Amino acid sequence: MTPSPDPSNRKRLSADELIAVFVALTSIGAIFFWSISQKGGGLDASFLQAPFVASAPTAAPSPTPLVSPSVEARASITPRSTAEPPPASETPASPTSVSPALQAAPFIAAAPQVLPSPQAASTPAAQPKQFTDVPAGYWASAPIAALSAQGILTGFPDGSFQPNKPITRVEFAAIVQRAFNQPTSREALKFNDLQPDSPAIAAINEATQTRFMSGFPDGSFQPNLPIPRLQVLLALATGLNLQAKSPPNQVLDRYKDAEQIPKYAVDKIAAATEAGLVLNDGNAQLLTPGKVTTRAEAATLVYEALRK
């Protein structure tokens, strides 16, 4: 049997050790009572019951958060100041901002129509009308077919064109109205032999406003008067604003009958000659300005003017 230890032999704490133990217990107690006395900052009871474990992130975000974001999260999502400009990629374009080139350029309307090219004139968009008196081998069949396909020329109710018939001034005005799209440069002229409700007034007004045609010194238009070659050439050269590149008298020296050309028409007849709009009856040295123009000749001259 082993003897029990003698209580008298236990080691007693020294005075210094007792003081150290007392100071340690006092400090622990002071810290404990100070921490639980702080409002909102004390230790939670759960702190003493279970160890702190950081929450692991969930596999999928909850559609409705149960708690508000933490202070750190709210601090990282700072709303943009209203005074701070948005990034350049988010800045909307000003509705009134235009490039300097557009600011300096004047307003440009739709381009005006130009005269048909030779290819367009020789290739009608629609089928030409078949006139009973214009056979395929007729010398003016191609111009008549091209202009009739474009609706510029019309025939008679019996299906004929009557190419050798003299063309009147009102008939030529109607062809000019349908063939050309020149801008008007003066007011419509008033003629003492035309009524305002005349069926031909629209064609005559356009032909005079675009300067293709004019009246006579006595204030008349004489719509049913056959139009001579001089007036047809003068109308085309004036309405299309043709200009002679060489001295007019030098250009007209080729004609033996150049003295029959009135002085007021010299420049325009020279311009029409240079443009190749003059027809001859087998003799290139004769202009025959006073000869009445036929319907076939008028069709050919208008066709050539459109080609050029």
The mean per-residue pLDDT over the stretch 24-40 comes to 63
Could you tell me if 272 and 278 are in contact, meaning their C-beta atoms sit under 8 angstroms apart? yes
Q: pLDDT tens across 139-159, in order? A: 999 999 999 999 999 999 999
Beta strands in the chain (DSSP E): none
Q: How many CB atoms lie within 10 A of CB 22?
A: 10
Q: What global pTM score does this model have?
A: 0.59
In this structure, what are the phi and psi dihedrals at residue 228, rounded to the nearest 5 degrees?
Answer: -80, 170
Helix (H, G, I), strand (E, B) or coil at 294: strand
Nearest-CA neighbor of 174 among 192, 149, 151? 151
Chain centre to alpha carbon of residue 268: 37
More confident residue, 5 or 22: 22
The pLDDT, as a whole number, for residue 241 is 95
Please report the pLDDT score of residue 126 as a whole number. 72
The Cα 208–Cα 48 span in angstroms is 112
- Tokens 């029959």 correspond to 260
Sign of the alpha-carbon dihedral angle for 28, 34, 37, 40: negative
- Angle at CA of residue 221, ends 229 and 154, nearest 5°: 60
The CA dihedral of 116, 117, 121, 124, to the nearest 10 degrees, is: -80
CA dist., res. 48 & res. 118, Å (int): 105
| Mean pLDDT (whole number) for 51-62 | 40
Token reading at 182:
């020149």
- The domain limits of the chain are 115-163, 164-303
Q: Across 4-13, 36-45, 100-109, 281-290, which has the greatest mean pLDDT?
A: 281-290
Q: What is the pLDDT of residue 81?
A: 37
Q: Cβ distance 273 to 204 under 8 Å?
A: no
CA nearest to 226, candidates 152, 164, 301:
164
Here the tokens at position 278 are 């003059």
Of residues 228 and 15, more confidence is placed in 228
